[in-house]
Structure 1
């Protein structure tokens, strides 16, 4: 199904260049496509400053929500995204037999709605005495402009299944419930 993505899709131009280099024999390409990564990376790359210890989506939503003192989402939060723990996402790279066009591997072990994430952020804000309600609210147009430059990417769907990764022996262990349980720690980290 990845072949059905238009060449104009975000990041697709890079994928196509890498696959072309594989086809021409310059490299053997393996592209691991993580979903919403959660958890804190702790490794030598983080220690050396080459890698961030946190991902993007949940820390961003946490920062936006801390600023407004209320868990937030784009629209109704019904959109779905897959998720994978940082320790699980690193394991497919050690067992990648297919390369080139057969070398795309999705890292996911469940999916969540952005409403669920907003709700977990709300609960964390209450526990930290920052917020007062356990129901997330939609970001206003003004807030979206402030936080994302008006972009609504956090209201889009991003759906994928790691079937190829699993077919070669990848065995993720963390679940969506683990991701939701980790959000309080992300909010605490962002709060400082």
Structure 2
């Protein structure tokens, strides 16, 4: 590894995934060689990151750009300018998601289609209107057509587990995933855990610690020998280690809430037509949660030696504790 400082610009540093990655960067054996700058929207959190963790910060927000595509386009313009000014080719690690591969079965039956991150023609055959796809196409084009950046796209499946560490303890980063809180909040309002159609939809899943490890392995590989790391049109890295259906996940949430006396039954109560969107943010997201997204992450295992430790059973086993924490937080918010 070069003795020169490595400049790292990180967005989402106070979020679930970004915060977990930042914690790994700060604990990295070569952390003293990193110059980390984080984009944050909270002046208070920016002060903590700078004073307690030595992280430079830029105040801003994803809300400063109405669409993610605009934010990514701005970052890519910056990378292009850096390439022109310095002659160095920067690397861009972008977070997408396996929601790009959803079908519209709505959980009626198990989809047989499983996508691999080694099957590039199938990925490229996806319609440009698929979720995440417009941004991913911008990222790939910056490498394949513009040539002013080496781009790598990490595509997590459902991420689970409660994040821990000094940034969480300091109140800087979010310790919770997105999907479990959506179901918990919806069930608390409804008085029961709902299911759309048959709930047979299957998604891959990955523990937050294993996902953070993938990012660090990718960074290490780039710093060690960038020529050995796939990028551009081949630079997709799926993150998954097993899969579950909503028919397996939701009963665990229902059991936990019933044990706490927060729902009237531990059985799943089907949503009436048009009802799911009232409790799961909106109808579009509700439909999204009950689709199939089946993937097989092979590239990170092959190129980076990524070996996730947590299994789908760990997802189920950890739900009770996570639900209890989430209910406590919802109660605390209601009492203020």
TM-score, with length taken from structure 1: 0.90
- Count, aligned residues: 191
Structure 1 residues 44 and 25: alpha-carbon distance in aligned structure 2, compared to 1, 3 A threshold: farther
**Using the alignment, how far apart are the partners of 2:167 and 2:310 within structure 1?**
22
- Bigger RCO (CA 8 Å, 6+ sep): 1
Q: Is the 8 A contact 2:160 2:177 kept in 1?
A: yes
Query: 1:142 Cα shift?
Result: 4.8
Query: 1:133 Cα shift?
Result: 3.0
Q: Is the 8 A contact 2:194 2:276 kept in 1?
A: no
Query: 1:141 Cα shift?
Result: 3.3
Any unmatched runs of 5+ in structure 1?
none
Any unmatched runs of 5+ in structure 2?
1-121, 219-228, 329-336
Query: 1:48 Cα shift?
Result: 6.6
Report whether the alignment pairs 1:28 with 2:161.
Answer: no
Query: Which residue of the other structure, out of 283, 289, 307, is the alignment partner of 1:150?
Result: 283
Q: Which residue does the alignment assign to 1:161?
A: 296
Runs of 4 or more, structure 1, over 3 Å off, are: 43-49
Q: Which residue does the alignment assign to 1:99?
A: 231
Root mean square deviation, CA, Å: 1.8
* Secondary structure, counterpart of 1:93 in structure 2: helix
TM-score, with length taken from structure 2: 0.53
Report whether the alignment pairs 1:15 with 2:136.
Answer: yes
* Secondary structure, counterpart of 2:143 in structure 1: helix
**Using the alignment, how far apart are the partners of 1:164 and 1:191 within structure 2?**
38
**Using the alignment, how far apart are the partners of 2:155 and 2:177 within structure 1?**
14
Query: 1:44 Cα shift?
Result: 5.8
* Secondary structure, counterpart of 1:117 in structure 2: helix
Query: 1:95 Cα shift?
Result: 3.2
**Using the alignment, how far apart are the partners of 2:277 and 2:182 within structure 1?**
14
